[in-house]
Structure 1
């Protein structure tokens, strides 16, 4: 152990003896461990900060907007409104696909991943 770890460990032990940790919320309950194995290491800290803030990653925001626009298109009866909504939907889908391609996930890859998941779930 390095000197900093030893000092930190000693400070923690002293605080435990003094009872500084006795009134903490969640005492005696298991910690909720975040599974960030799918997030690259260099992005994990920023994802945690964004999650705690209540913000979503850009691809998730776009995905939510795409679902909302698709629902609006499905419910729309006026042709001119439907055309405008479809244009917005296509723009969002294009932006989403470009974003995913930059991250290495192409629409074709996603299509085949979905097919494989459906096959595995149906077996």
Structure 2
């Protein structure tokens, strides 16, 4: 056992003795499964760190923003408001497309098929 492992064990034992771990939110419950099996093993730890830090990849946040703008556009009643939302939506979609092309996702046949299915579902709802 390395020095860091020993120090960690000592700190945990000390916290247990002091009752610092008694009122944790998940006490007595199973921890949620953090399934990263689709991520290559050498990248899993970095993905977990980013996820725990609240980092969201730009393409994910852009997609969410596009969906939000699309919903707002459908709810807008004034022409000026609709035009402003349409302009913002077009800008976000263009940025997303550029980002996906930079990352090599925009030209993938499988990605394009998947994207069209998602787009169809969003439009139908």
Compute the TM-score of the two structures, normalised by the length of structure 1: 0.59
- C-alpha distance in structure 1 between counterparts of 2:70 and 2:16, whole Å: 59
Q: Deviations over 1:63-109 (max 9, x none)?
A: 22211211222233444433332221111011112223333322654
Structure 2 residue runs without a partner (length 5+) = 119-125
Kept in 2, the 8 Å contact 1:47–1:57? The answer is no
1:73 aligns with 2:77: no
Structure 1 residue runs without a partner (length 5+) = 118-123
Q: 1:8 to 1:85 in 2, by over 3 A?
A: same
* 1:91 aligned counterpart, secondary structure: helix
Q: CA RMSD in A?
A: 3.6
Kept in 1, the 8 Å contact 2:69–2:85? The answer is yes
Larger radius of gyration: 1
- Residue matched to 1:11: 10
Report how many residues are paired: 112
Compute the TM-score of the two structures, normalised by the length of structure 2: 0.59
Q: 1:32 to 1:11 in 2, by over 3 A?
A: same
1:32 aligns with 2:32: yes
